[in-house]
Chain A
Amino acid sequence: QKEVEQNSGPLSVPEGAIASLNCTYSDRVSQSFFWYRQYSGKSPELIMSIYSNGDKEDGRFTAQLNKASQYVSLLIRDSQPSDSATYLCAVLLQGAQKLVFGQGTRLTINP
C-alpha cells in the first residue's frame, strides 16, 4: 500500500511559466507536509513545509494543503532552468519520527 504518491513525470514546463506539482497521501493522521528538491546525485533540500489547510507562500514557491482531500501541492512561479530537479513530497505522521517520501516528480524547465 503506497502511502505517499506522486506522478513521477517527467514534467516539462517552459521558462517563466508556473510549474504545478501534486502529491496525495493515504494516512489521515498525517500532520506535517514537506517539499524537498533533489538535484541529480545530491541530497534532498527542504524548500517548503506546511501544517494547516490552505496556502503558504515563500518567494516563488506556494504550497497548498487540503487535508479533507489528502492532497498537497507545490506551485513554482516564474520557473527558471535552475528549478529543474526532482521534487519530493514527504509526510510526517502524527506522533511519529519518520518522514515518508513519495517517489518524486522530475521537473524540467525548458529555456
Chain B
Amino acid sequence: EPEVTQTPSHQVTQMGQEVILRCVPISNHLYFYWYRQILGQKVEFLVSFYNNEISEKSEIFDDQFSVERPDGSNFTLKIRSTKLEDSAMYFCASSAGGDEQFFGPGTRLTVL
C-alpha cells in the first residue's frame, strides 16, 4: 500500500540554524500539506501546496517557513532560523483530490 515517507525521523538543531524537512508524498497525489503537533497539543495546519504553489497557509507559516517541490517526488519544508518554540512533530500529508489526507510518520524536530 502506498504511503507518505518523511526524513529524517528526528532532527536536533541549535536555535537560529536552518533545517529542511523532507517528504515523499504518495505518487499519484496532487495536494501536499505540512502540519505540526507540539507535544500534548492539537495537530495544527501549516501550509497546503497544489499545482506548484502555496494554496493556503496559516498564521504560523510566517517568513521563516518555506516549502518547495524541487523535483517530481520530494516536498520539503524549510525553517530558516529555528526558535525553541519550533520544537514539535512535523507531519507531511498528501491527498489525491483534496479531501482525504494521508499522513507520513513525522519528523521530530528538537531545537536546543
Whether A43 and B56, one on each chain, are in contact in the complex, defined by CB atoms closer than 8 angstroms, is no
Q: Is the interface of A mostly helix, strand, loop or mixed?
A: strand
Partner of A98, one of B45, B91, B104: B45
Whether A97 and B31, one on each chain, are in contact in the complex, defined by CB atoms closer than 8 angstroms, is yes
Interface size of A by Cβ–Cβ distance < 8 Å? 21
Whether B43 and A88, one on each chain, are in contact in the complex, defined by CB atoms closer than 8 angstroms, is yes
Q: Which stretch of A14-22, A72-80, A101-109 is in the interface?
A: A101-109
User: When chains A and B are docked, how far (Å) is the Cα of A104 from the Cα of B89?
Assistant: 16
Partner of A99, one of B50, B89, B101, B105: B101
| Band of interface residues on B | 20 to 34
User: When chains A and B are docked, how far (Å) is the Cα of A96 from the Cα of B55?
Assistant: 9
Report B55-112 residues with CB < 8 Å from chain A CB: 55-56, 58, 89, 91, 98-106
Whether B43 and A97, one on each chain, are in contact in the complex, defined by CB atoms closer than 8 angstroms, is no
Q: Mark A30-61, 1 if CB is under 8 A from B, else 0.
A: 00101010000011111001000000000000
Residue A92 at the B interface, CB < 8 A? yes
User: When chains A and B are docked, how far (Å) is the Cα of A43 from the Cα of B103?
Assistant: 7
Q: Could you pull out 8 A-B pairs where Cβ atoms are within 8 angstroms?
A: A32-B99, A42-B106, A43-B91, A45-B103, A97-B50, A98-B33, A99-B43, A103-B42
